[in-house]
Structure 1
Amino acid sequence: MRFSERSNPVAYQATLAHSALRAGVNHTASDADLDQAAIEAGLRPAARDQTREAVRDALESPVDFADTSAKDASFALFNTADTGRPLLVVGADGRRFVLEPYPVEASV
């Protein structure tokens, strides 16, 4: 499935964050670094400042469940759901994952 920054901003942000991680980019990444990560992921470079901010936020504040209290982890998860931004999670084995909040609409 193809998507863009405009058609599915959360999927775009999660994909860009994942690509940035693979490229070794962190939260201090320049716009050029994020643009290169986007190109490497097959995306157009981000046009919106809030997209770059969401990716940098995810890269800056990963949730490491081995070192994070349940309260802080819960806050991070609920904040992700509230803001609709991706969340970087460090698993028990040290692998990093980008979680993408995906709203489920109840049918009436």
Structure 2
Amino acid sequence: MQFRTERDWQQFHSPRNLAISLSLEAGEVLELFQWEDRRGEALDKIMPQLRDEVADVATYLTYLCADLGIDLEAAVREKMVQNRRKYPVELSKGSAKKYTELQGEGEA
């Protein structure tokens, strides 16, 4: 926040602008994986750029949450509680199915 405040940039950071920037930066993360599933040495090669893009995503998300009064840590904890309900271990372990596909599988 200090970086942004020192430069008086918060005046340009409406929720809309921050959400757009967040999406664009997330797209730049995705772009690094566009043509291949990078692992091992291939991943090591892009790691410096990947770290920069992930930092940009985190920065815009932090600004957005601060400006909207969202406690990011609390929001993540609450979402994980919801996810635990949606994806119980006994139905979802080792499965990539969406929660709507898991419903009814545990019933006999």
TM-score (norm 2): 0.25
| Greater gyration radius | 2
Higher fraction of helix: 2
TM-score (norm 1): 0.25
Higher fraction of strand: 1
